[in-house]
Every structure is written in C-alpha cells, then in structure tokens.
Amino acid sequence: MDLDVFVSAHRAEWDRLDHLLRRRRRLTGAEADELVSLYQRTATHLSLIRSSTPDPQLLGRLTQLVARARNAVTGTRRASWRDVTRFLTHGFPAALYRTRHWWVPTAIVSTLAAALIGWWIATRPEVQASIGAPAELREMTRPGGGYEAYYSSNPAASFAAQVWTNNAQAAALCLVLGAFLCVPVLWILLTNMVNIGMGIGLMASAGRLDVFLGLIIPHGLLELTAVFVAAGTGLRLGWTVIDPGPRTRRAALAEEGRAALGMAIGLALVLFISGAIEGFVTPSGLPTWARIGIGIAAELLFLAYVYVLGRRAVREGETGDLDADERSAAVPLAA
C-alpha cells in the first residue's frame, strides 16, 4: 500500500472526525450518525496501516483519534460501590475458583518443598554452619532472639503496613512476571520457600520448632495462600503464552491478563488482612492456641469464600474477566 496515496485519500475524513469530536456536545442527529460512521472508517484505516505500513507518527495520530471517537460513541462509565460489591462477591471469588487447579497444587508442592528444606537444614550441622556462625545462630533462635524479636521490632500499625507492602509486591511480581514463561514466578516461590525452610530448620535444631510455628501460623496461612494464588495465577498466565488453546494468543493473553489484574486488587485486600494479623495478633500476649486459632479461622473463611461464593459465581457464568461492554472495543471490519 502506498502510504502517501492512502493518507491523501482519507485525510479529509480524519480531519472531519476531529472537527466533529471538538464540537460533539453540539452535534445534530445527522452529525452524530456521521461521527459514528467516521469512527468506524478511521478504526479500519488504523488497522490497515498497522498491518501494512506502520508509520509511527501516523499511527500515533490515528490511535489518539480513534480513542477519542470511541469515548464519544460509547461514553464513559464511573465505578460505583455497586461495582465494588459485585467484584468482591462475584468477580474475585470466581477468578479464584477458576484458577484453583493452578494455585492449590502450587501451595502443596511449595509447602512440601519448605518442609523438606527445613528437615535438611535441621539434620545437617554442616549446612547450619554454612548459614552462619554458631553464635549468630544461637542469637537468632534463642528466646527473645531474632525470630521472635522480628514480630515486635516496630509498632504494630507500622509493622502491619510494612508487611502488607512487602507481600503485595511479591504477589504483584508473581502476577506480572508470569507472562515471561513462568521462570521468574518459580524463582520467587523458591526464594520464599528457602527462607521459610531455613526458619523451620534452624528453630527445629534448637528445639524450638513449636515456637516458630506458633509465630508463623497465625498470619502465615492466609499470607502464604495469597502468595500461592498469585504464583499459580502467574504460572497460568505464563502457560497461556505457551499454549493459548483454541483462542488466539493475543486474545487469550488479554483475557487472562484482565483477570490477573482483578486478582491483584483482590489479593491486596487479602494480604492487608494477613498483615493486620501479623502486626496485631502474632506479637500479642494471647495464648499460642488462640493466635493459631485466629489464623486457622481466617484461612477457613478464605477457602469458604473461594469454594462457596466462587463456585456459585462460576455457575452463574462469571469468569473474573471484565464484562463485555467494559473491554476494549474491537476494531470494526467494515465501515
């Protein structure tokens, strides 16, 4: 396609569309119909230029013009509390339920890996010696030492905010990096499991495994579940790039990516709850059984949320993706 000839043939239509958009609040009925027709033609022109002679300057102008026209034709929509409620009762639990075949195995395998790493460290003095000097390890595992002091090192509110930020970043990395063929997600998982396994192994070798579990279980059940969900979703996203199934790779990645974005928002709320537990419950003076009970209750509520609300939402046709009218408009094929 000769780009100069194409531009000369259609420049008047683009200028007319731009003119109508500038005065769209005062359009007559005929002009409104003309705007819709010009929007469809310009969108088709944009598609043709992208596929044949993608001139950057022209693409930029037409992309902006089509976006403005789409906004004028379809209108804008403001989020409301009803949208928030629907997301929390339908979209997010449906996305969790649909991806359970990814994050549940991820959770099981990762937990077993952490336990095996902990057993290996606890039964190998030479491995412990490679981690730190004997005096350093005693300082970390003694009553009131490094592991226990960690949970009371800052005021509860500040500590909860710090924990939430760190975990939200880890979950976001799993979701974002999943598109890079799964490898970064597996590395993040391995790093986390090594850290947990190290704590298990060192505290077990000091005969204080019960103390460690009493510290990590109250918040760790929900916190790690959120990380496993993010990792499983990231792995699913990465596998979509490898095997999109009957969909085109672009359409599959767009659909799963939109669901992953919603998952990130929902998981931020889950991690906020686990951060609050870690900041206020874990270092509290409550008996160990009470702290563990709170952690187990939070985990059971989350699983009920997934398997009750999530299953119901999926049966109603919810996928966790945006509604059809909220997705990016498809490029018209004909004017």
User: Mean pLDDT throughout 73-83?
Assistant: 67
State the pLDDT confidence band at 212, using cuts at 50, 70 and 90.
confident
The answer to whether the CB of 179 falls within 8 A of the CB of 254 is no
Radius of gyration of the chain (CA): 27
User: Comparing C-alpha atoms, which of 217, 211, 200, 228 is closest to residue 297?
Assistant: 217
CA dist 195 → 111, 113, 124, 252, 326 (Å)? 12, 11, 16, 35, 41
Strands (E), the chain: none
Which of 2-10's residues contact partners 24+ apart within 8 Å by CB, and which partners?
3/49, 3/53, 3/55, 3/58, 6/45, 6/48, 6/49, 7/58, 10/41, 10/45
Per-residue pLDDT of 191-209, as tens digits, reads 889 988 998 999 999 898 9
Q: Domain segments of the chain: what residues?
A: 3-74, 82-324
Per-residue pLDDT of 255-308, as tens digits, reads 777 777 788 888 888 988 988 888 888 888 889 899 999 999 999 999 999 999
| The pLDDT value given to residue 53 | 73
Instruction: Name the helix (H) or strand (E) containing 319.
Output: none
| The pLDDT value given to residue 46 | 85
Per-residue pLDDT of 11-52, as tens digits, reads 899 888 888 888 877 788 788 888 888 888 888 888 888 877
Give the dihedral of Cα atoms 171, 188, 255, 244; nearest 10 deg: -170
* 133: phi then psi, degrees, rounded to nearest 5: -70, 155
Per-residue pLDDT of 138-165, as tens digits, reads 888 888 777 777 666 555 555 556 656 6
Over pLDDT 90: what percentage of the chain? 22
Residue 117, pLDDT above cutoff 60: yes
- pTM for the full model? 0.69
User: Mean pLDDT throughout 74-90?
Assistant: 74
| The pLDDT value given to residue 179 | 66
Measured over the CA atoms of residue 56, residue 57, residue 58 and residue 63, the dihedral's sign is positive
Cα(78)–Cα(326) distance, integer angstroms:
11
